[in-house]
Amino acid sequence: MQVAPAATALPLQVFGLGTVGARVQSNVGFKVAGVLVALNADAGDHVPAGAVLARLDARDVEAQLAVAKAGVAQAEANLIKADADVASAGASLANAEAISARRAILVRSGVASQEEAQTTDAAMRVARANQQVAVSEVAVDNAALTAAHAQQDVTAATLDN
C-alpha cells in the first residue's frame, strides 16, 4: 500500500455552524420588514437628530409605487373617457329629442304614421337611458380615481418608512 506524500502548503479553513450576532443589541426597528442594505451608525456613534441610521432594500415597494402610479394614470384616462361619453350621450339625446318632436308634429298633421312617432320616441328614451349610464360611469370612475390615489399614497408612505 502506498501513502500519499505530505502536503506543506495547505490553506487554512475553518467550518462551523452557529449564529452571527451584533456586538451590542439595540432596540431600534423599522415600521416595515425588509432586508438591511445599509447601516450608517454603530454603537457609540454620535449622530444628528433625524439622520438615517439604516436603510432597507426598497425595490419591491418602489415597484409597487410604480404600479400604483400607473393605476392613477389609468383611472384618470378612464375618467376623461367617461366625461367624453357623457358629452356624446348628451348630443345623441338632444338629437333624438329634436327628431321625436318633429315626428310628433308630422303625425299630428297626418304626414307621418303613429308607428314612426313611437319608434322615434323609443329612440329618445334609449338616448336618455344611455346618458344616465354615461353619467353614472363618471361617478364610478371618480371613485376609482380616488381609490387609486389612496393606494398610491399608502405605497408612498410605506416607501418613506
Q: Which residues of the chain have pLDDT under 70?
A: 20-22, 26, 28
Provide the pLDDT for residue 91: 96
Provide the pLDDT for residue 28: 66
Cβ distance 68 to 78 under 8 Å? no
Provide the pLDDT for residue 26: 66
Residue 45 CA, distance from chain mean position: 41
Cα–Cα dist 89/79, whole Å: 15
Q: Where are the domains of the chain?
A: 59-160
- The predicted-structure confidence for 88-131, as pLDDT tens digits, reads as follows 999 999 999 999 999 999 999 988 999 999 999 999 999 999 99
Provide the pLDDT for residue 76: 96
With a CB cutoff of 8 Å and minimum separation 6, the contacts of 95 are 127
With a CB cutoff of 8 Å and minimum separation 6, the contacts of 148 are 68, 71, 72, 74, 75
